[in-house]
Amino acid sequence: MTDIRDTFSKRMGEMIADVMGADAIKDMYEKGDLTEEQKKKPSGFLALDLGIVTAGAKDALLIAQAAERTLQTIERVEAALDKAPELAASIRKDMDTVHTHNSWLGTVSRFVTRQPKPEIADKIKTWSDYNTHLKERFDEECGFLPCDDKEFAHLGLSAMAEPHFSIVAIIGPNADAPEQKKTEAMKPEDVDAVKLAQTINYLARQEEVMTKNSVFWSFSNRLSEFSGKERKEIASYHQPRHEGLKEIANHLYHMAAGMLEKEGYPDVAKQIRNDETIQNAAGNTLGKTRDEQFEAYAGSPGKIINSAYEEYKANDDQITNYAGWGTSRGYSATSMMELFNLSTIMEAMPGILQGAGCITATEAANMSANTKSALPNKDNIQARINEFSSDPWTGDGSKPEAGKNRIVRVEV
């Protein structure tokens, strides 16, 4: 078997081949030997149908995969944060070169010395040129993944972290009615370990986008301070979340190890438990009380959900103020429902981890208290869902009339 972390960074069919030594699915995909019905199935379900894996083994692989991708995300973010000060200094050096050679003194100096103008000074002559240069270097060299990266696709969840879009209801007599999507609130009993694991991976990607936004804002507005004050401020805000996500990823990895052991793969379980990089992600913070350690609250993944909620509110305020409407109209009922369901999954997390033997009853109780205090108020989320689903012009809570409501995207 390959390196354990490398194995769980792969796709399902490849994981099955590594862990179970079963190449049947991999061969079928490579040879195209699949029926139309089989082509529509995820490889894990196909393996289940063919009897290559058990339901428990399939779930264990999915949980380990999500744990690995969560660790990789946070490792990538931390590497980007470490690289950012050096990049900021390099961009400042670019600007010093631009200022020197694009000044009248630089022109005279080049005339006397017969030295050519540096390429960077030719490239950057306006603020627009500078902003383009800064973004290009940031995107190419800092190491953050964009929010629309293909890594997101496997989660089956919408990308909450698109570049600040809000959805606004516009009422007009000639507007087309939108396609209605039925959404229902998730119940705690509907949450299983696989859903929890994939949600943690999803929130890690949200945290990457949020960290990236924080760093880029500093690059755009306070580049000269980034190596000192700004770097420390960003780290102090985001680092507890990074540590919290790594701690939960470690729990998920151990949960998967226990499940694989029960399904007849003790060697794989042993490799997970013996891997030093997985063990190094282990923390003992989220199960403490807030008084014992503030990071028990600040590091909760619930804070990521709350940050997304606050961003939606801020976007809505901008749209409301710009449009001059008396009632907030910037919310998407679908996005708010997603936040509601993510909150439900986070509330179920302590019980799932305790049930798997990852944390004690006391730690679960503390984690539950920290999670609930970190999450946005679910009553407020529900109120916004109700508000957005009503006609803003009647004031009586009624639904917009068919054919008189359309949804448009407004970038703020």
Cα four-point dihedral sign 358, 378, 310, 386: positive
What was the pLDDT predicted at 102?
Answer: 64
State how far the Cα of 320 lies from the Cα of 384, in Å rounded to an integer: 14
Per-residue pLDDT, 28: 66
- Nearest by Cα to 186 from 378, 334, 341: 341
Q: What is the DSSP letter of 406?
A: E
Residue 67 confidence (pLDDT): 95
β-sheet bridge partners, residue 299: none
Q: Which residues of 2-22 are buried (b: 16+ CB within 10 A; e: fewer)?
A: eebbebbbbbbbbbbbbbbeb
Q: Which residue has the higher pLDDT, 79 or 23?
A: 79
Mind listing the pLDDT tens digit for each residue in 85-110?
889 888 888 887 777 766 655 555 65
- Are 320 and 329 in contact by the 8 Å Cβ rule? The answer is yes
Contact partners, residue 239, CB within 8 Å, separation at least 6 = none
Measured CA to CA, the distance from residue 110 to residue 116 in angstroms comes to: 7
At 111-149, the pLDDT tens digits run 556 566 667 776 777 788 888 888 998 999 988 887 666
Specify the pTM.
0.81
What is the C-alpha separation between 350 and 364, in angstroms, rounded?
A: 5
Spatial distance between the Cα atoms of 27 and 282, rounded to a whole number of angstroms? 37
pLDDT for residue 182 is more than 50: no
- Token pair belonging to 132: 């383009």
Residue identified by tokens 């909150």 is: 343
Q: What is the pLDDT of residue 343?
A: 92
Q: What is the C-alpha separation between 137 and 140, in angstroms, rounded?
A: 5
- 223: Cβ contacts below 8 Å, ≥ 6 apart: 88, 91, 92, 134
Does the structure show a pLDDT above 90 at 364?
yes
* Residues linked to residue 406 through DSSP beta bridges, in sequence order: 170
Q: What angle do CA 317, 321, 323 make, to 5 degrees?
A: 115
Q: What is the pLDDT of residues 191-237, one digit of tens each?
A: 899 999 989 998 998 889 888 888 898 888 888 777 766 677 787 88
3-state helix vs strand vs coil in the chain, percent to 5 = 65, 5, 30
State residue 382's pLDDT score.
Answer: 84
Handedness of CA 203, 206, 210, 215 (dihedral sign): positive
